[in-house]
Amino acid sequence: MENKKILITGGASGIGLAMVTLFAERKSEVFFIDNREDIGKEVEKSLRLKGLNVHFLHSDLTDSKRVNQAVNSISGSLDVLINNAGISHIGKVESTDEDDFDRLYEVNIKGAFIATKAALSKIKVNGGGSILNMASVAATMGLPDRFAYSMTKGAILSMTLSIARDYVAEGIRCNCISPGRVHTPFVDGFLAKNYPGQENEMFQKLAATQPIGRMADPKEIAALAYFISSEEGSFMTGVDYKIDGGFTGLKM
Residues noted as catalytic:
149
Q: What is the DSSP string of 181-210?
A: -B--HHHHHHHHHHSTT-HHHHHHHHHHTS
How many CB atoms are closer than 10 A to CB 74?
16
CA separation (Å) from 13 to 10, 92, 132, 145?
A: 7, 27, 18, 25
Residues whose CB is less than 8 angstroms from the CB of residue 93 and which lie 6 or more positions away in sequence, other chains included: 147
Residues whose CB is less than 8 angstroms from the CB of residue 228 and which lie 6 or more positions away in sequence, other chains included: 130, 132, 175, 177, 236, 241
3-state secondary structure (DSSP) of residue 145? coil
